[in-house]
Amino acid sequence: MANTSRTLAARAYRDGKWWTIEFPELSSPSPGGGEHRIMAVGQARNVKEIQAAAVDLAAVWLDVAESEVDVHVTIEIPGAAAELFAQAKKNEETARQAVSEAARQWREAVRALTVDGVTQADAARILDLSPQRISQLTH
């Protein structure tokens, strides 16, 4: 009989000195009934342990072997680091775009000079670039 793996999504977040792991899709009714549900929740001491703890928790909750669960954990960046990380990613992308645009402009500048009959050697001197860089920009 073939082993079928169940794919689950979990989230992990910092909770004091521990990382809490939650499986929103793994829940059961609370013993008291009503609308309350109990969600599968576990802990890990550090980020390195999160994946193993999540797989263990899912397997225990579902009463299957660990090899029968495939867990994808989203680790939430704690506190102020989350905002700083998001801003850094945004700034990095802006910088990448600026570098790409600068490279396009360098190519255009070299082409504008060489179209006007300026040699690559003279273009290098005019633009204060090495002849090798001019060659790169023209190819």
- pTM of the complete model beyond 0.85: no
Q: For residues 124 and 106, give the distance between their C-alpha atoms in angstroms, rounded to a whole number.
A: 11
Residue 36 reports pLDDT greater than 90: no
Kindly indicate the confidence band of residue 52, based on its pLDDT and cuts at 50, 70 and 90.
very high
pLDDT digits (tens, 9 = 90+) for 58-86: 999 999 999 999 999 999 998 899 999 99
Which pLDDT score, from 0 to 100, does residue 3 have? Answer: 61
Average pLDDT, the chain: 92
Beta bridge partner(s), residue 8: 71
Torsion of CA 81, 83, 85, 91, to 10 degrees: -150
What is the CA angle 91-86-77, rounded to 5? Answer: 150
DSSP assignment of 64-101 equals S-GGGEEEEEEEPPPHHHHHHHHHHHHHHHHHHHHHHH
Kindly indicate the confidence band of residue 89, based on its pLDDT and cuts at 50, 70 and 90.
very high
pLDDT digits (tens, 9 = 90+) for 90-101: 999 999 999 999
